[in-house]
Amino acid sequence: MQSSSHAVVRPARNVRGSVSLPGDKSISHRYAMLAALADGPSRLENYSTGADCASTLGCLRSLGVNWGRGAGAGNVIAVQGTGLTFSTPSEPLDCGNSGSTIRMLSGILAGQEFSSEMVGDESLSRRPMERVIAPLTAMGAHIESHRGRPPLRIAGAELKAIQYKMPVASAQVKTSLLFAGLLAEGETIIHEPLRARDHGEVALRAFGAHVEQNGNEVRIRGGQRLKGIEAVVPGDISSAAFFLCAAALFPGSQLTVTNLLMNPTRARLLDILIQIGLRVSVTQLEELHGELVGTVQVEGGRLKGATIAGSDTAAVIDEIPVLAAIAPYTEQGIEVRDAKELRVKESNRITALATNLRRMGAQLEETEDGLKIPGGQSLHGAEIESFGDHRIAMAFSIAALRAKGETLIQGSECAAISYPAFFSTLEGLVER
Ligand code: S3P
């Protein structure tokens, strides 16, 4: 995304209020793809408002899938399933900025009868795709790339199941292989180094497929049919993370987030926030199509500090930008380790975080796979570069709330990749 607009964020006194968030990005992508593959219609309420999930819908339309937006509030998407077969697209599929779209859709396109091409924006065109190319090729697809990066040209084939040990923990890759496994002959067995988010497995079951889970191993049999569903997508916990961290910055803050995704593979964020010093309570837990949803109430207290490493790092990989952005305000600081994957996200997030924290006056150490950010620091407003990365733009809008003076977020429009209403919702929650 081009850095064309900017946002100015002024310091705040407190955070107070109640909010319900647009649907989770990870789940929205998966529901849209599975609804497109299913037999019959699906209705997806509270579908993500982010541009990434719109990229998925755009690709599906180019693949002959009929879908439309429902009338009224709630961002409803109605999808007419195709019964596992898409039609040949007449032009390259535009995945925009979305790694989830290109990687997960690859698994489906690998098992179709036609050839297709997927392209992305400048950021996506730099991201590694070998992680899906290698296993999908082993299943029988032919995939050409630009030295392991997009564009991807996929010649679909009759896929054969494989047993695959994933070298990198990645839910996008796991889901891509589960989708390919659904279209393959035989039983696909995927072994992940640690349990990444499991929305692919949960969503497949919601659409009627049988998926087995045993420790870090997931199995799916090819040839299963899917049935359409009516579902409400739970609020996006990675978007909520920005407001939860904003609340953490102010002792006595009070924030309620309703209808929030509480899937255990995503909710580790709450454990880390509790460790840092936020008081958290969860009520009204319920299960919707296999996904846990609840109301989260938080209250700011003393901000201690934390070390985020190992499986915790993988569990909060999308929330590390905002956790790092508030780290200088904690008493003991925050150290992030084992986060090399952050260097190949929408931007090199380790460098983006270090650069912008320094611009705000913070001392820190950038390591190969993380950051050591001492606590007890005060920051000043500065000109922040979003690097076209939505989570960097939003993370520094939160750091700005306790800085001295105004902060200018360059390229702030990229927040729309996951959360178009971010800035207006934030303004509604802060007190000045
Ligand atoms: C996602 C998985 C994560 C995450 C991304 C969304 C998903 O990426 O960073 O924002 O929906 O499966 P990896 O699969 O690369 O770990």
pLDDT in tens, 44-79: 999 999 999 999 999 999 999 999 998 777 899 999
Q: What is the pLDDT of residues 182-238, one digit of tens each?
A: 999 999 999 999 999 999 999 999 999 999 999 999 999 999 999 999 999 999 999
Q: What is the pLDDT of residues 125-172, one digit of tens each?
A: 999 999 999 999 999 999 999 999 999 999 999 999 999 999 999 999
Q: How far apart are the first and last CA of the chain?
A: 31
Q: What is the pLDDT of residue 3?
A: 43
Q: Which of 184, 132, 135 is nearest to 158 (CA)?
A: 184
Q: What is the pLDDT of residues 18-53, one digit of tens each?
A: 999 999 999 999 999 999 999 999 999 999 999 999
- Confidence (pTM): 0.98
Q: Which of 97, 170, 346, 391 to mutate to test the pocket of ligand 1 (most atoms within 8 A of CB)?
A: 170
Residues assigned a catalytic role:
318
Q: What is the pLDDT of residue 2?
A: 40
Q: What is the pLDDT of residue 277?
A: 95
Q: What is the pLDDT of residues 343-354, one digit of tens each?
A: 999 999 999 999
**Percent of the chain at pLDDT above 90?**
98
Compute, in angstroms, the gap from residue 199 CA to the centroid of ligand 1. Answer: 10
User: Is the shortest distance between the CB of 98 and ligand 1 below 6 Å?
Assistant: no
User: Is the shortest distance between the CB of 414 and ligand 1 below 6 Å?
Assistant: no
Q: Which helix (H) or strand (E) holds 390?
A: helix 390-399
Query: What is the secondary structure of 101-120 as a DSSP string?
Result: HHHHHHHHHTTSSSEEEEE-
Residue 271 — pLDDT band, cuts 50, 70, 90? very high
User: Is the shortest distance between the CB of 100 and ligand 1 below 6 Å?
Assistant: yes
Query: Taking 60 as the threshold, does the pLDDT of residue 1 lie above it?
Result: no
Q: What is the pLDDT of residue 4?
A: 66
Distances (CA, A) of 193 to 52, 196, 318: 27, 9, 18
Residue 2: how many other CB atoms lie within 10 Å: 10
Q: Helices (H) and strands (E) in the chain — how many of each? A: 13, 24
Q: Which atom of ligand 1 is nearest to the CA of 104?
A: 12
Distances (CA, A) of 151 to 93, 121, 144: 10, 10, 8
